[in-house]
Each structure stands twice: as C-alpha cells, then as structure tokens.
Chains A and B, each alone.
Chain A
Amino acid sequence: DAKTTQPPSMDCAEGRAANLPCNHSTISGNEYVYWYRQIHSQGPQYIIHGLKNNETNEMASLIITEDRKSSTLILPHATLRDTAVYYCIVRGINTDKLIFGTGTRLQVFP
C-alpha cells in the first residue's frame, strides 16, 4: 500500500473550514484514499473515501488532485467536537487492511 504523509498538527477556528492535506505520491491506479478520525481515546471513525473523483457526504468533502498524488479533507464548518486526530489512508482494492500512520492532530479553537 502507498505511504501517506500528513502534517502532524493543525489549528482551525470554530466555524471556519478546516482543510487537512495528505500526500500520497506513490499511489497506484487501483488504490483508494480513505479518511478516518479518532476523537480523544475512542476508536477511529470512518469519514469518507474516494478513488479519483471528489466526494462529499454529511461529514466532509474529499478533494483528490487530478494526478491523485495528494488529497485534501475539508470540514466545511469546524466545531469544537471536530477536534481529533485525522488519518489519511491509502487502501488497495484487493485488500481490506488499513495501514494507519500517525495522522494530523486538528485542534479547533473557539
């Protein structure tokens, strides 16, 4: 599976959009990009995934560059409850295993 690179931490003001970047320059054509988050000490929570098209759901939007070498998770109106560690994961189509990195710690402040 392709390796991902994320900034270790980011801050965001409450109510503003949080844009979390992820680099996956070695991604191959059949690998998906997944985002999970982990709030405090809870188990991780699925957010969104995509292959090459941009995706949106009730939680977030995922923007994948045309060359697929990077992506951005967008939380459109961050709240204090969005403070968490966000993991960007690349998964091959032939595996159900997720390889977690160290993620980005997002701190939303009032």
Chain B
Amino acid sequence: NAGVTQTPKFRILKIGQSMTLQCTQDMNHNYMYWYRQDPGMGLKLIYYSVGAGITDKGEVPNGYNVSRSTTEDFPLRLELAAPSQTSVYFCASNPPGIRNEQYFGPGTRLTVT
C-alpha cells in the first residue's frame, strides 16, 4: 500500500489565486482529515469526513472547502488564497474504531505571497 499520498509537495500562490490540494489513500479508510500546521505550532483540524458524501468542519474551516465523492480521495480547495493560509497541510485517514490510529501523508508546503 502507498498509504496516504498528497500532491503537490510544494506550491507558491499569489494572493487571490485558487488551488486544490490532493489527498488519496489506498487503505479503504472511512475517515479522512485535513490539518494545517503553522511554524512552531501543533496541527489544527480544517475539515474531516467520515465517509463518501459526508464532510464536516473542524477548528479552522474558513477559507477552505472539501468534497468526498469517493472513499479514496479527499481534496481540499483554497479559494482566494491569503497570506494567512501559508502553512503546511497534512492529510490523514483512519478506519473506524477505538484505536483511531491516524495515518498521515507527507504534507504540502504552501506559501501565499
């Protein structure tokens, strides 16, 4: 299994531009998550999904949108990028259950200038 993959690894956006961060997992996990991590800080949950067609907001959803049309994919859309969205973005997934071992992707480093 490739696990959780994210593309791109790096991206520079100009203010006002839009982009989609891709996340795919091949472990047939129901649950998927998007986090952002600012320098020196812990991860903040942006959006999560408990299955195809179901998404919900996390701690910091403003400025982002998600969709979950398949079990494997959970793209994160940034509309009208702002400098405050400069961060590292991590996608994660896990199967349901008590263990809740979330598997993380390698991250996407985004800079908005």
Contacts and interface: CB of A to CB of B under 8 A. Distances in A.
A34 B98 CA distance: 11
Interface stretch (B12-20, B75-83, B99-107): B99-107
Interface stretch (A14-22, A38-46, A64-72, A74-82): A38-46
A72 B33 CA distance: 27
State which size class the interface on B falls in. Answer: 20 to 34
A99 B98 contact: no
Interface string A86-110: 0100010100111111110000000
A24 B100 CA distance: 19
B43 A100 contact: yes
A101 B94 CA distance: 20
Interface of B: 4, 31, 33, 35, 40-45, 48, 50, 58-59, 88, 90, 92, 94, 96, 98-107
B109 to A, nearest CB: 8
A42 B9 CA distance: 12
B88 A98 contact: no
Given A87-B42, A96-B48, A43 B59 contact: no
For B41, B90, B102, the residue with the greatest tally of chain A CB atoms inside 10 Å of its CB is B102
A41 B88 contact: yes
Interface residues of A, number: 21
Given A99-B59, A100-B44, 6 more contacts: A43-B106, A44-B92, A97-B45, A97-B48, A97-B58, A98-B102
Nearest to A96: B31
Nearest to A34: B100
Contacts of B100: 32, 34, 49, 91, 96, 98
Given A43-B106, A43-B107, A91-B100, A96 B50 contact: yes
A42 B106 contact: yes
Interface string A25-49: 0000000101010000111111001
21 contacts: A32-B100, A36-B102, A41-B88, A42-B104, A43-B105, A43-B106, A44-B43, A44-B92, A46-B102, A46-B103, A49-B99, A91-B100, A96-B94, A96-B96, A97-B33, A97-B45, A97-B48, A97-B58, A100-B44, A102-B42, A103-B42
